[in-house]
Amino acid sequence: MDIPPLASKTTAMSLGALPVSYALNHVSVLSQPLCVVLMSALILGLLFMAIYSLSHGEITYDPLYAVFVIFSFTSVVDLIIALQEDGYVMGFMDFYTKEGEPYLRTAHGIFICYWDGTVHYLLYLAMAGAIRKRKRYRNLGLYWLGSFAMSLLVFLPGNILGKYSSEIRPAFFLTILYMLVPCWAGVRIFSQSRTPTSYTPDMVQEEQKKGLLQRPADLTLIIYLILAAFFALFRGLVVLDCPTDACFIYIYQYEPYLRDPVAYPKLQMLMYLFYALPFYCLAAYALTFPGCSWLPDWALVFAGAIGQAQFSHMGASMHLRTPFTYRVPEDTWTTFFLSNMLFALGPHLLAFRCLWRPAFFLQAPPWASEGPGKKQQQTPGLHGPTDLPGQNIVRVRSWEAQGPLSGGRDQDEGESGSVVVQTAPGQVVSHRGGTIVLPCRYHYEAAAHGHDGIRLKWTKVVDPLAFTDVFVALGPQHRAFGPYRGRAELQNDGPGDASLVLRNVTLQDYGRYECEVTNELEDDAGMVKLDLEGVVFPYHPRGGRYKMTFVEAQRACAEQDGILASAEQLHAAWLDGLDWCNAGWLRDGSVQYPVSQAREACGGAGSTGAGGGTSGGVRNYGYRHNAEERYDAFCFTSNLPGESFPPKKK
C-alpha cells in the first residue's frame, strides 16, 4: 500500500488552533454555554470558507478534502484539551471543558482526545495529501472510518446514559452532527475503486486451492479470532451482570473499571458483544473458505474501530481521573495489559494479512480453470489509415465485433448518473518502439449530466498492492506522469471514449493498466493487459551460475538490452519450447525455470510444475530473499532483428 505524502497546507491550517484556542480562552463572554456553541459554529464556518477559497480545486475533486482539513483543526484542539487536562499545558481550553463539554474531562474523554489528536490527525494529513496529489486513500479512509465511528458510538450514548448526563450543554448537540459525517464519508470511501492487483487467474486459483494446513498464518489468525470472540462474549456477559463466579472475580479483580458509572466501559463491551463478536466469526469463515471479497475492506474498518476502542479503554482503566476503586489493581496489571493488547493487535494483523496477500479473497474468474496449454486470448490488431510513418499502431476491432465486454461493474446502463466502464477482453499486443491503443469506453447519462465533470485516470499495476499514475484528464486539462510524458494521450474518438494512445512503447510498459472513470458520486474501472512481442532468454554471468542477487539480475538484464521476464512471459516461452534447468529470477521476485520434458536432472521425471504435468512444466521456487539468495536470470527483450530460437536442453 502506498503511503500518501502529508499535506503541508493542511498542517499549517490545523496548527492555527493553537492561537485561536488561547485567544478564546481569555474572552470573558465565553463563560456562557450558549456563547460557547455559537462561537464554535462560527469558527468552523469561517474555517470552511477559508478552505473553500484556498483549495477550491481539491474540494471539487473530492469534497472530503474540506472534511479532513476541518477535522485536522479539531484534532489539534482535542490534543490541546488532553494535554491541558493532564497538566502539560495551561490556559488554552478551560472555557470549553467547563461550559462546552465537561465530560471531556473524564478519563475516557481524555484518551479519545489523545487518539483524535495523534492517530486521526496523521490520517487527516495523509488523506488530504493524497487528494492534493490525486492519489488513492481508500485503505486509510476505511481505517479512519472504523475508528471515528467507534469513538462516536461509545462516547455520545455514554454522555447521555452515564453520570454526566445532567451536565450536557448545548455544545453536545453540535457533536451529534458529527454522526452524519461517517455516514456520508463511508458511502464515498466505499464507492472508491479498490487498489488493482496484478494476480493472474491462475495465481488466484493456485492460492485458493491451499488448505488451512498450507496456510499457517491464516490458521493462527483463525485460532486468535475464536479466542477473541470468546473474550468479547465473556466481557459482554460481565457488564450484563452475569451471576457466575468467573464474572464476579473478573469484574472485581481484573477490570473493575467495567463497573464505573460513567457508562463508557459498559457501552464499549456491548459494542464488542453485538458487533465485534459476529465479525470475528465471519472473518474466521472468510479465512477458511476462499472468495470472500468483503473481508479486506471490513478488516480495515474493524482494525480502526478496535484500535481506538482499546486505546481509550486501557488508558481510562489506569488513569488517575478514574476513581481508585475502579482502576485496575496493580497485581493484575500484567494480565490486564497483555489480554487487552492482544485483543487490539489481532484485528491489525488480520488487516495486514488481507492487504499483503489478497489473492485468497478475490473472486476467481470462470476461466481460471483452463488448462496450461491454452494461451490467453489476444485481441487482434488492425492497421488504420492514421498509422504514423515508421510505426505500427495496433487498434482493437470495433466494440460490437468483440462480443461481451469485461472490466465494468454489472450495472443497469439506464440508471441515471451511473458510470459503466467497458474494456476489451483478453490483451492487446505491441512491440518495443511501436504505438498501441489501450481500449476503454464508458457509458454515462449525458442527457442528465454533462461530460465536463468526468475524470479519466489511467494507472499501471506495478505490484499487487501498488500502482503508478500514467495519465489523468479532467475536462480540457490533461496530464501524463513520469516516463509517460510526451508518449501518452487520449484517443478522443467521440463521446464515451477513454482509450489511451501510448507511443514509443518500452519494455517497462508491459503489464496491466486500469482505466478509471469518475463523476461526482459514481466511479467504475476496467483492466487492460498490454503484452509485448519478444523473446525470453536465460542469462548467467561469465563467472558461473547462481551468482546474482535480484538487483544484480535486474542490472544484468538491462545490460543485455532487456528486463527481467514476468512469470506469464516465462510460461509463454515454455509453451513455445523453452527448456532450461537452471532457476532464475523473475520480475516479481520469484525464482522459476521451464522444463519441456521432465528428467532427473531437472527435478525428476515424475514431478509436476505450475505449467504442466508429468511431461514438464514451469518449476517454481516461490519468492526468495532478493538480497541474500543468488540465482541466474530470465530476461525479456522485444523488437529484435532476425529470428530467435529457444536454447537447447541443459
645-649 long-range contacts, CB within 8 A, separation 24+: 646/573, 646/576, 646/577, 646/578, 646/579, 647/537, 647/538, 647/578, 647/579, 647/580, 648/579, 649/579, 649/581, 649/596, 649/597
Q: Structure pTM?
A: 0.60
pLDDT: is 166 or 647 the higher one? 166
Give me the residues paired with residue 535 across strands: 637
Cell of 475: 475536462
The reply to whether 421 and 333 lie within a common domain is: no
What CATH number is attached to the domain comprising 610? 3.10.100.10
Give the 3-state secondary structure percentages of the chain, helix then strand then coil, rounded to 5: 50, 15, 35
Residues 520 and 603 sit within 8 Å (Cβ to Cβ): no
Q: Which of 151, 177, 196 is the last residue of a domain?
A: 196
The reply to whether 312 and 360 lie within a common domain is: yes
Predicted pLDDT at 282: 97
Number of C-beta neighbours around residue 357 at 10 A: 16
Does any domain span residue 116?
yes
The reply to whether 100 and 136 lie within a common domain is: yes
Output b/e per residue, 100-116; b: 16+ Cβ within 10 A: bbbbbbbbbbbbbbbbb
Categorize the per-residue pLDDT at 568 as very low, low, confident or very high, splitting at 50, 70 and 90. confident
Does any domain span residue 646?
no
The reply to whether 4 and 140 lie within a common domain is: yes
Residue 322 gets the label, from left (phi > 0), alpha (psi -120 to 50) or beta, of beta
Residues 16 and 74 sit within 8 Å (Cβ to Cβ): no
The reply to whether 184 and 224 lie within a common domain is: no
Output b/e per residue, 577-615; b: 16+ Cβ within 10 A: ebbbebbbbbbeebbbbbbbebeeebbeeebebbbbeee
Predicted pLDDT at 373: 41
Residue pLDDT, tens place only, 152-169: 999 999 989 988 777 777
Does any domain span residue 591?
yes
Predicted pLDDT at 400: 33
Does any domain span residue 310?
yes
Q: Express as a percent the part of the chain with pLDDT over 90.
A: 43
The reply to whether 539 and 459 lie within a common domain is: no
- Evaluate if residue 372 carries a pLDDT over 60: no
Residue pLDDT, tens place only, 259-269: 999 999 999 99
Residue partners of 308: CB distance under 8 A and separation at least 6: 112, 115, 119, 146, 147, 148, 150, 151
Q: Which of 363-372, 379-388, 394-403 has the highest mean pLDDT?
A: 363-372
Residue partners of 506: CB distance under 8 A and separation at least 6: 432, 483
- Evaluate if residue 446 carries a pLDDT over 70: no
Q: Which of 374, 399, 429 is the last residue of a domain?
A: 374
DSSP helix/strand/coil, 282: helix
Mean pLDDT of the chain: 82
Predicted pLDDT at 116: 95
Predicted pLDDT at 421: 85
pLDDT: is 27 or 244 the higher one? 244
Q: What is the mean pLDDT of residues 120-141?
A: 91
Per the structure, the complete domain to which residue 327 belongs is given by: 200-374
DSSP helix/strand/coil, 493: coil
Cell of 252: 472485581
Number of C-beta neighbours around residue 339 at 10 A: 15
The reply to whether 101 and 177 lie within a common domain is: yes
The reply to whether 522 and 573 lie within a common domain is: no
Q: Return the amino acid letter for 526.
A: G
Structural domain count of the chain: 4
Residue pLDDT, tens place only, 592-641: 999 888 777 676 554 444 444 456 788 888 888 878 899 999 999 987 65
- Evaluate if residue 505 carries a pLDDT over 60: yes
Predicted pLDDT at 30: 60
pLDDT: is 444 or 556 the higher one? 556
The reply to whether 492 and 601 lie within a common domain is: no
Residue pLDDT, tens place only, 384-423: 333 333 333 333 333 333 333 344 434 333 344 467 888 8
> What is the DSSP track for 540-599?
--TT-SS-B-HHHHHHHHHHTT-EEPPHHHHHHHHHTT----S-EE-TTSEEEEEESS--
The mean-pLDDT minimum among 240-254, 350-364, 366-380, 560-574 falls in: 366-380
